[in-house]
């Protein structure tokens, strides 16, 4: 009873502090002691801690490399160029700007991860909408929603995908092929709902403050990102950990930036966000303790078996619910080992739930919490009622449509 109570309390403390961030302290400040507490009371054994470290080690290394790669792309001017392109494409029409935000946010989330969309693209979206004189709400919300929804496509798009990749038994290319149709479906549904929900804001006339200036395209950064993506597929096909491809892409841009004195070794280490990496590992340990002391057995009783369409819908719905209750990272860690028994299709259904579901509440994902903080910094406080109404309109229909698309992909590709 003691170990169960300590495990649950430790997870609750970690999640609450990740949401609130008392005194603006990093999440790791609370997660690492919590991991130590569950180990001290015997809720998890040293052997289990070692297993979690071995399982999460490659994922954490991959995440660090992608974070560095995204920051270096920003330093090269990639996101500034994106803002300039959006402004020129929009031609002072908010509807076209929304389409441009959807396109860029979807691609950036898929290729450089949802963190790049939240941290690097969101400020650009605010700046572009301001220069156009457009109401920022629809475009800012698009950045938030797509950081979650558009992270379905590639293993690198979201930490949840990285955590689940090994359990699927799929390679990089196979994973992407199976998730392509659900990804496109989810984005299309979100766009249709956004156009209707924000019809009044999008119809308002824009009053631009200044015309968009042309910006040179950072070709070297684009080519490096393209080569890194090719490296992911090649590494997967040859049995090499894709983290090496991510590290290689980050290293190329890092060397260029260091030679040109545009960055420093300290800045590179900081861009990898070591406290967040420690948080991920500590969270994995705490969640393992909770799963081993009751949560795993409870979820096993309610998780549907198989990969029929009703089963996939049930798995995705349960994953979305759990993501909003305990955050999508713990939900992924808890559900993926159980879903793996039914095959890769069931694991992918879990990803639909934990990636789309967080658009319903602030606490669903750390990305949404971070986006909310960035919005407030740009003098655009997020109204809880509007956020929730938009989530209620988008999440259920998007989840159902993308799950049906996943089922169709599984049938077509014979998985």
Domain assignment present for 389: no
Domain assignment present for 391: no
CA dist 217 to 92, 138, 225, Å?
A: 22, 26, 14
Domain assignment present for 3: yes
Domain assignment present for 61: no
Identify the pLDDT of residue 210. Answer: 63
In which domain, by residue range, is 4 found? 1-43+274-293
Tokens in use for 21? 């961030």
Domain assignment present for 322: no
Name every residue whose Cβ is closer than 8 Å to that of residue 144 and which is 6 or more positions away in sequence.
118, 122, 359, 367, 368, 371, 372, 375
Q: How many CB atoms lie within 10 A of CB 105?
A: 28
User: What is the helix (H) or strand (E) element at residue 155, kind and residue range?
Assistant: none
Identify the pLDDT of residue 76. Answer: 92
Domain count, the chain: 1
Name every residue whose Cβ is closer than 8 Å to that of residue 333 and which is 6 or more positions away in sequence.
163, 283, 284, 287, 288, 291
Q: How confident is the prediction along the chain (415 residues), in pLDDT tens digits per residue?
A: 789 999 999 999 988 887 777 887 888 999 999 999 999 999 999 999 999 999 888 888 888 898 899 899 989 998 888 888 888 888 888 999 999 999 999 999 999 888 889 888 989 998 888 888 888 889 999 999 999 999 999 998 998 998 898 899 998 889 999 999 999 999 999 999 999 999 999 988 777 666 666 677 899 999 999 999 888 888 877 878 888 988 999 999 999 999 999 999 999 999 998 998 898 899 889 999 999 998 899 999 999 999 999 999 999 999 999 999 888 989 999 999 999 999 999 999 999 999 999 999 887 887 887 788 788 777 777 788 899 999 999 999 999 999 999 999 999 998 7
Q: Tell me if residue 412 falls in helix, strand or coil.
A: helix
Identify the pLDDT of residue 313. Answer: 98
Tell me how far apart the alpha carbons of residues 152 and 50 are, in angstroms, rounded to a whole number. 29
Phi-psi bin for 294: left (phi > 0), alpha (psi -120 to 50), beta? left
Domain assignment present for 68: no
Identify the pLDDT of residue 209. Answer: 63
126 Cα distance to chain centroid: 20
Tell me how far apart the alpha carbons of residues 259 and 262 are, in angstroms, rounded to a whole number. 8
Tell me how far apart the alpha carbons of residues 304 and 353 are, in angstroms, rounded to a whole number. 14
Domain assignment present for 401: no
Domain assignment present for 388: no
Nearest CA among 331, 368, 362 for reference residue 349: 331
Identify the pLDDT of residue 237. Answer: 77
């Amino acid at each position: 009873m003691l170990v169960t109570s300590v495990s649950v309390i430790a997870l609750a403390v970690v999640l609450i502090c990740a949401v609130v961030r008392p005194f603006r302290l990093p999440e790791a400040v609370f997660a690492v002691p919590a991991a130590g507490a569950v180990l001290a009371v015997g809720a998890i054994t040293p052997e289990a801690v070692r297993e979690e470290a071995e399982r999460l080690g490659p994922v954490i290394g991959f995440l660090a490399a992608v974070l560095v790669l995204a920051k270096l792309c920003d330093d090269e001017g990639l996101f500034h160029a994106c803002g300039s392109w959006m402004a020129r494409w929009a031609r002072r029409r908010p509807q076209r700007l929304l389409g441009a935000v959807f396109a860029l946010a979807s691609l950036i989330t898929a290729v450089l991860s949802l963190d790049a969309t939240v941290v690097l693209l969101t400020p650009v979206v605010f700046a572009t909408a301001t220069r156009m004189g457009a109401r920022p709400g629809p475009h800012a919300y698009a950045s938030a929603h797509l950081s979650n929804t558009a992270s379905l496509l590639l293993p690198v798009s979201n930490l949840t995908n990285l955590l689940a990749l090994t359990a699927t038994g799929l390679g990089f290319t196979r994973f992407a092929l199976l998730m392509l149709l659900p990804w496109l479906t989810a984005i299309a549904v979100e766009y249709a709902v956004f156009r209707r929900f924000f019809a009044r804001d999008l119809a308002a006339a824009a009053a631009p403050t200044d015309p968009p200036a042309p910006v040179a395209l950072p070709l070297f950064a684009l080519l490096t990102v393209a080569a890194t993506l090719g490296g992911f597929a090649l590494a997967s096909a040859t049995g090499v950990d894709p983290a090496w491809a991510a590290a290689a892409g980050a290293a190329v841009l890092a060397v260029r930036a260091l030679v040109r004195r545009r960055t420093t070794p300290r800045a590179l280490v900081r861009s990898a966000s070591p406290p967040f990496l420690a948080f991920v590992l500590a969270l994995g340990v705490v969640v393992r303790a909770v799963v081993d002391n009751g949560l795993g057995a409870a979820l096993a009783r309610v998780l549907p078996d198989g990969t029929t369409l009703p089963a996939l819908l049930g798995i995705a719905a349960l994953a979305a619910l759990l993501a909003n209750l305990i955050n999508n990272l713990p939900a992924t860690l808890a559900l993926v080992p159980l879903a793996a028994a039914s095959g890769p299709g069931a694991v992918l259904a879990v990803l639909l739930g934990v990636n789309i579901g967080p658009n319903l509440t602030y606490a669903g994902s750390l990305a949404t919490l971070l986006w909310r903080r960035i919005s407030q910094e740009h003098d655009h406080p997020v109204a809880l009622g509007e956020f929730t109404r938009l989530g209620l309109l988008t999440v259920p229909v998007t989840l159902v449509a993308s799950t049906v698309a996943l089922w169709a992909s599984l049938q077509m590709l014979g998985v």
